[in-house]
Amino acid sequence: MIDKIKRIVEPVVQDFNAELVDVTLKGAKRNYILIVFVDRIGGVTIEDCTKISRQLSKEQELDDLLGNNYRLEVSSPGMDRPLKTPQDFKRNVGRFLEIEFEDKAGLHKLKGNLKKADEKLITLEDKNGAHDVPIHSIIKAIQGIKW
């Protein structure tokens, strides 16, 4: 069912120059909570989420799939959502990240500003300089808070 929902939701989200990050469906029939996570480079605002939510609420296909009694929430992914895909990293260029990665020398932790991201590699900069990290070696990556 999630794949069907994504096919309905994604074009609407793209109409607002945003990207569908994830869809979560909670609850049971007649009491579903549909949570749609959206983002874009530079982030999304509450106003963006509101506009997307209003447009999605007009989608008859969602009503047909979920019934008329579901709650819709549209949100940005939030700071605690793990970054996994190259697109996740690209959206977060310029932000402070905390990552764990593994290479031949073992397990490493880095905190720094994400300077670049492409399909295979990210560049994280900390007080010691720039560090290129292959995405496939990243075990965990989240937005951090710089103190």
Q: Say what percent of the chain tops pLDDT 70.
A: 100
Q: What's the average model confidence in pLDDT over 70-87?
A: 88
CATH number, span 2-75: 3.30.300.70
- Predicted confidence at residue 63, as pLDDT, reads 87
- Predicted confidence at residue 13, as pLDDT, reads 96
Q: What's the average model confidence in pLDDT over 12-26?
A: 93
CA–CA distances in Å: residue 29 to residues 15, 45, 71: 29, 31, 12
Residue 68, pLDDT > 90, answer: no
Residue-averaged pLDDT of the chain: 91
Q: Which CATH architecture has domain 86-143?
A: Roll (2.30)
Q: Which positions ≥6 away from 93 have C-beta within 8 Å?
A: 41, 114, 115, 116, 117
Cβ burial of 118 (10 Å; 0-12, 13-18, 19+) is: exposed
Rounded Cα distance between 147 and 145, Å, is: 6
- Predicted confidence at residue 19, as pLDDT, reads 92
Segment 80-105, tens digit of pLDDT: 788 988 988 998 899 999 999 999 99
- What is the separation of C-alpha 18 from the centre of its chain, rounded to a whole number of angstroms? 11
Q: What's the average model confidence in pLDDT over 52-81?
A: 89
Residues of the chain with CATH 2.30.30.100: 86-143
Residues of the chain with CATH 3.30.300.70: 2-75
- Predicted confidence at residue 115, as pLDDT, reads 97
* Best CA proximity match to 83, nearest among 93, 73, 75: 93
The angle that helices 2-15 and 46-56 make with each other, rounded to 10 degrees, is 120
E-assigned strand segments in 4-90: 19-26, 33-39, 71-75
